Amino acid sequence: MTTSYVIKGAVLPHGAKSDIAIADGLITQMAPDLNIPGATVVNAANAIVLPGLVDLHTHLREPGKEDAETVLSGSQAGVRGGYVALSAMANTSPVADTAGVVEQVFRLGQIAGLLDVFPIGAVTKGLEGLELAEIGAMADSAARVRVFSDDGHCVFDPLVMRRALEYVKKFDGVIAQHAQEPRLTQGSQMNEGFVSSQLGLKGWPAIAEEAIIARDVLLADHVQARLHICHLTTAGGVEIIRWAKQRGIQVTAEVTPHHLLLTDELARSYDPVYKVNPPLRTESDVMALREALADGTIDIVATDHAPHPAESKECEWQEASFGMLGLETALSIINKTMVETKLMDWSGVAERMSITPARIARYENHGREIAVGAPANLTVMNPTKTYRVDRDLVASRSRNTPFHGMELPGVVLATFFNGKLSFESKQP
């Protein structure tokens, strides 16, 4: 008999109140005022309980860049943020383009044991965009990869993209595209617009994203395959996804917390912590992304957690790496941008941060409604309690959070993974 728990006084996503009993990895009872002798009580008065969060876009950096993050440190950051499953991007060193590398990452996740680490396989060998990677072998491996992405790079060749979409259809896989037309973004440093022209930094135009999204939804339609668009950032991209969904094309899209809050105005500081790919856009893009996430045009929130060591960020803007941390702050940013603004309720958050990402990636033990008999993968958070982000207190090995010093609403109190308490807040 494993440890059993009772979550007391929690509010479910739809607003009902219930205690939740957990034993042997499952939710065993749900009722008001449960009293179970011997069970450990987790006090969740005034807290929301969500199905455990699932991130489809995490850079864990192992193997190869362990100074930035490891599977273990990334898992620790994940559980602090309320996550129970992370999809690890393939742009490691070596690249996760073979069964051997995806199995290595998968096993490292199991050894860390805090949450599920599901490796994403590369679409092309070495992320070079030329030749398909060992997609079938990765799908058949112990890691059972279903999501493939060259993230960091765009699959720019339309014929390679077509072949990849056709290939993954065989096992119900999905291609996650980093939409960036390479010729339109050579040497780009930030969003192309008013601010970039004032600062004299080379621009990354919105159309470089939109052109690839438009091409790929048409390809996905043509071959009847599943396409997922990573980190959507532009109002124009939202319009194309909306059009594609109306036509019944099998496309899903994600947005990051940072693109729902921050704008290119922050580049005026020349602080490379705000340098990210795709770049921070304008206020009107931010508002379009929020509306699209609320109405379901954008299906999910994904963090694009991208740790970098200090030397890659404490330098001139032009030399700095692209990317920001995201796992530990995602839920509170969504609370601030979507729930406190009344654009979305907690059942919407459950859909966008757990249920739908698990469905897109076919993670069967995740994203389940909170009900008796379901696996006990749960996130307990106090939405009204605030905290100040401190980059020196993060669980990640890196410090590149753009939210440092910000007061954010919503503290994760506890994370349950397969019925075990994988994180509990030390704050009262």
- As annotated, the active-site residues are 304
Say how many CA atoms lie within 13 Å of 298 toward its Cβ.
32
The residue sitting closest to Zn ion, measured at its beta carbon, is: 178
**Which ranges of 16-157 would DSSP assign to H, the alpha helix?**
71-80, 99-112, 135-140
Site size for Zn ion (CB under 5 A): 2
**Residue among 146 and 178 whose Cβ is closer to Zn ion:** 178
Distance of CA 304 to the CA centre of its chain: 5
Contacting Zn ion (CB under 5 A), which of 80, 146, 178, 368? Answer: 178
Query: Which of 97/151 has CB closer to Zn ion?
Result: 151
Residues 294-353 that bind Zn ion (CB under 5 A): none
Residue among 235, 257, 256, 253 at smallest CA distance from 245? 253
Q: Do the Cβ atoms of 260 and 330 come closer than 8 Å? A: no
Binding of Zn ion by 258 (CB under 5 A): no
The C-alpha atoms of residue 60 and residue 74 are separated, in whole angstroms, by: 6
| Binding piece for Zn ion, criterion CB under 5 A, among 171-179, 315-323, 342-350, 389-397 | 171-179
Which among 103-111, 174-182, 235-243, 263-271 is the span making contact with Zn ion, rule CB under 5 A?
Answer: 174-182
In whole angstroms, how close is the CB of 261 to Zn ion at the nearest point?
18
Q: Least Å distance between CB 159 and Zn ion?
A: 22
* Piece of 160-168, 172-180, 389-397, 420-428 that binds Zn ion (CB under 5 A): 172-180
Toward Zn ion, which CB reaches closer, 150 or 328?
150
Nearer to Zn ion, 3 or 93 (CB): 93
Q: How far is the CB of 190 from Zn ion (least distance, A)?
A: 15
Residue closer to Zn ion (CB basis): 178 or 352: 178
Secondary structure of residue 346 in the 3-state scheme: helix
Three-class SS state of 28 = strand
| Sequence-distant (≥ 6) Cβ neighbours of residue 15 within 8 angstroms | 346
Q: Interaction with Zn ion in 128-157: which residues (CB under 5 A)?
A: 151
Q: For residue 366, what are the contacts with CB-CB under 8 A and spacing of at least 6?
A: 51, 52, 54, 84, 85, 116, 354, 358, 375, 377
Query: Which residues of this chain interact with Zn ion, rule CB under 5 A?
Result: 151, 178
